[in-house]
Amino acid sequence: MQFKDQLDFIKQHMKRNKLRVATTILAAMMGCAFLIILASVGFGMQQTVTDQVLDNQIVTEIEVAGREDGDSITDQEVEAMHQIAHVKAVTDRTSPNADAVAKIGDRSGFVAAATVDMEQEQKAGLKLSEGKMPSSANEVIIGYHFAQNLLTEEERKKVDDGEEVSGGFAGSLIGQTFQLELTPYEGETEAGVWEFTVAGIKEEPGKDWISDNTLLIDDSWAPVFQEELALEESGRQVLVYADDLQNVADITQTLKDKGYYVYSVTEELGSMNMFFTALKAGLIVVGTVAVLIASIGIFNTMTMAVTERTREIGVMKAIGAKPKLIQKLFLMESAAIGIIGTVLAVLVSYGVSILANWLVPKIIMSSLGEDGEGMGDVSILISVIPWQLVVISAIISIGVAMISGWRPARKATQIDVIQALRQEL
């Protein structure tokens, strides 16, 4: 029998028992949709948490916090990090052990000064909202809120009294020269003052609550500060940047093997993923129970179909249909129920998922107050249906439908032709 004829054959039979087939499809659909929606909540939770983790940091960034043996990281070691495969950049920020105050006219403010390798910073993805990268050692990059923190004495007093002040330095700082006063935390050495010119301003931080007061100075100044202020060993922050997220895990492992304390997004996501994988597997297992319950309906429908069609099966066998063909036709019918049920389930699940993602956050927001205070800028995904979930659910649902149709199909092949032909019409 040609495949098209087989399809026509089962289509004809399904049409003849429309109501029964439709209710069975409905049961299969509900089982599969339940499985998808339930598991999608696990995927949604993972997505929400992952987004939060990734949102708070640059995903390709690997922080080298120090050496396991307690020694400081040396320049040679930083240099060696450049040689690791798939490392795009290594930024090495050294903060002098001193209070740093920037002064321009009658305004001044504390800044987070650090000496950096400008070229590596740029490679690592340093972005400017204004200006350009420094072209000489006297030029610097400042943080987005640098100007805002430059206050007059009067304004500072108001801030200390808890009053709000607006402004800071008005106008653009690009091209402006300011004084940097460094006062060592310890020791007797007097403060040193240097002049720098602002070349660029960093872009605004992603989060509202971050105030960026950094001052990035060319690293040729590091030994100058060290020497003139007789500073203790300065704080060093080494960040390694991978060329792609998929290489972060390998680079992290390489650095660990070399004896560094390392932290990267993969470390955090790794343990998180393990938890969510277990959660999703659990939800899929629970959802599969619904599919199994629906399969009882398919089993009943197919058993009744075989019983009702005993005479027809007998005739088909009598006129030359092989038992394998009979079995195939019934298996195809149960598979068709499974496939139609699954397709409808996928559509329904996407609908429910979209609705849940739109409605539930609104309910949460309203329960937290008018403006959703307490949520910050957290975006919640209640349900996410990736294609992998659709594939897994389809395999489970169609597989279970075929398994439940297998026994009736087998029964059909074993029908005795003589007994079948004796049945009354």
Partner 1 sequence: MIEIQNLRHTFAIGKKEHERKVPVLKGVTLDVQKGEIVAILGKSGSGKSTLLHILAGFMTPESGSVLVNTKETAKMKEEEKADFRLANFGFIFQNFQLMPGLTAFENVELPLKIKGETVKKRQAKVRALLEKVGLQDVADHYPNELSGGQQQRVSIARALVTDPPILLADEPTGSLDSETEQDILMLIQSLNQSLGLTFVIITHDDEVANVAHRQYRLHDGELVKGEKRHAI
Q: Which residues of this protein are in contact with partner 1, per CB under 8 A?
A: 1-2, 5, 9, 12-13, 16, 311-312, 314-325, 417-418, 421, 425
Of residues 70 and 320, the one with the C-beta less far from partner 1? 320
Shortest distance, position 395 Cβ to partner 1, whole Å: 30
Shortest distance, position 418 Cβ to partner 1, whole Å: 5
Shortest distance, position 414 Cβ to partner 1, whole Å: 10
Shortest distance, position 404 Cβ to partner 1, whole Å: 24
Of residues 1 and 210, the one with the C-beta less far from partner 1? 1
Number of H helices, E strands in the chain: 12, 12
Shortest distance, position 15 Cβ to partner 1, whole Å: 9
Determine the Cα–Cα distance for residues 160 and 269; give it in Å rounded to an integer: 41
Shortest distance, position 386 Cβ to partner 1, whole Å: 42
Of residues 319 and 363, the one with the C-beta less far from partner 1? 319
Shortest distance, position 16 Cβ to partner 1, whole Å: 6
Of residues 16 and 362, the one with the C-beta less far from partner 1? 16
**What DSSP state is assigned to residue 70?**
S
Shortest distance, position 335 Cβ to partner 1, whole Å: 20
List beta partners, residue 237: 93
Report the C-alpha dihedral over residues 72, 73, 75, 77, rounded to 10 degrees. Answer: 140
Structure tokens at 311: 């005479």
Determine the Cα–Cα distance for residues 236 and 95; give it in Å rounded to an integer: 6
Q: Which of 79, 59, 60 is nearest to 258 (CA)?
A: 79
Q: Which of 104, 81, 100, 83 is nearest to 91 (CA)?
A: 81
Shortest distance, position 322 Cβ to partner 1, whole Å: 4
Structure tokens at 131: 């200006």
Of residues 12 and 76, the one with the C-beta less far from partner 1? 12
Of residues 177 and 423, the one with the C-beta less far from partner 1? 423
Of residues 127 and 324, the one with the C-beta less far from partner 1? 324
Determine the Cα–Cα distance for residues 376 and 379; give it in Å rounded to an integer: 9
Structure tokens at 374: 């307490």
Shortest distance, position 318 Cβ to partner 1, whole Å: 6
Of residues 14 and 396, the one with the C-beta less far from partner 1? 14
CB 180 within 8 A of CB 100: yes
Is the Cα dihedral 270, 286, 31, 402 positive or negative?
positive
Structure tokens at 76: 């040679």
Structure tokens at 5: 């004829």
Tracing tokens 């005993």 back to the chain, one arrives at 310
Q: Which of 344, 262, 246 is nearest to 22 (CA)?
A: 344
In the chain the first and final C-alpha atoms are separated, in Å, by 25
DSSP 76-140: HHHHHHHTSTTEEEEEEEEE-SEEEEEEETTEEEE-EEEEE-HHHHHHTT--EEEE---SSTTEE
Of residues 156 and 411, the one with the C-beta less far from partner 1? 411
Of residues 2 and 76, the one with the C-beta less far from partner 1? 2
Q: Which of 32, 13, 29, 60 is nearest to 316 (CA)?
A: 13
Determine the Cα–Cα distance for residues 93 and 78; give it in Å rounded to an integer: 11
